[in-house]
């Protein structure tokens, strides 16, 4: 992990996102960390702006995991349908239920149904937790690999 990647987030923002990835709700996280809910929302919003993603907890968890800012131990694989995997990827990208419904041309209740099935299959507590478990179980792919310091440097151009 490059220092540029890890320096994007404050230590407090990283801890907040780690709690959200474990399935803690924002209110629980604020209570555990002894900060106000408004401070927690500000930290998430600032982190999302620095990561250049939509200001949503789920998007923050997804980006932090995919960029290697936080890591998760491997998890057991789980079977999801193609539609469920697509919905999980859209959740990970920060899309909400109405946006996903519009993309697929389906009712919002159908999206909610798929999200519920995803959460039950993964054993997730909420959407952010579902995204974290999607990464942990390899459904969303492997996180980005940071450049290795032992790899040979590219030869200079020219």
- Is 58 inside any structural domain? yes
- Is 11 inside any structural domain? yes
Name residues whose C-beta falls within 8 Å of residue 153's C-beta, 6 or more positions apart in sequence.
Answer: none
- Is 124 inside any structural domain? yes
pLDDT tens digits for 1-34?
A: 444 545 678 899 999 999 999 999 999 999 999 9
Q: What backbone phi and psi angles, to 5 degrees, belong to 28?
A: -65, -45
Total domains, the chain: 2
- Is 77 inside any structural domain? no
CATH of the domain at 45: 1.10.10.10
| DSSP one-letter code for 11 | H
- Secondary structure of residue 58 in the 3-state scheme: helix
- Is 16 inside any structural domain? yes
Q: Looking at the structure, tell me whether residues 12 and 62 fall in a common domain.
A: yes
- Is 96 inside any structural domain? yes
pLDDT tens digits for 90-123?
A: 999 989 999 999 999 999 999 999 999 999 999 9
Cβ atoms within 10 Å, residue 70: 20
Q: Looking at the structure, tell me whether residues 11 and 52 fall in a common domain.
A: yes
pLDDT tens digits for 52-69?
A: 888 888 889 989 988 888
Q: Looking at the structure, tell me whether residues 22 and 62 fall in a common domain.
A: yes
pTM of the model: 0.79
- Is 73 inside any structural domain? no
- Is 15 inside any structural domain? yes
d(CA 152, CA 34): 45
Nearest CA-CA partner of 127 in 91, 73, 79: 91
Q: Looking at the structure, tell me whether residues 60 and 88 fall in a common domain.
A: no
Q: Print the domain residue range for 94.
A: 82-136
Nearest-5° Cα angle at 27, 93 to 98: 35
């Amino acid at each position: 992990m490059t220092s540029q990647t890890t320096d994007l987030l404050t230590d407090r923002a990283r801890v907040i996102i780690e709690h959200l990835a474990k399935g803690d709700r924002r209110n629980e996280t604020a209570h555990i960390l002894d900060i106000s809910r408004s401070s927690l929302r500000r930290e998430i919003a600032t982190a999302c702006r620095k990561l250049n993603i939509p200001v949503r907890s789920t998007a923050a968890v997804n980006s932090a995991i995919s960029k290697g800012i936080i890591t998760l131990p491997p998890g057991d694989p789980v079977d999801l349908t193609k539609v469920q995997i697509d919905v999980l990827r859209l959740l990970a990208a920060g899309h909400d239920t109405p946006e996903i419904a519009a993309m697929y041309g389906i009712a919002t209740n159908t999206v909610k149904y798929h999200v519920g099935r995803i959460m039950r299959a993964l054993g997730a507590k909420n959407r952010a937790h579902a995204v974290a478990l999607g990464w942990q179980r390899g459904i969303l792919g492997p996180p980005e690999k940071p450049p290795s310091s032992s790899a040979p440097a590219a030869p200079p151009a020219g």
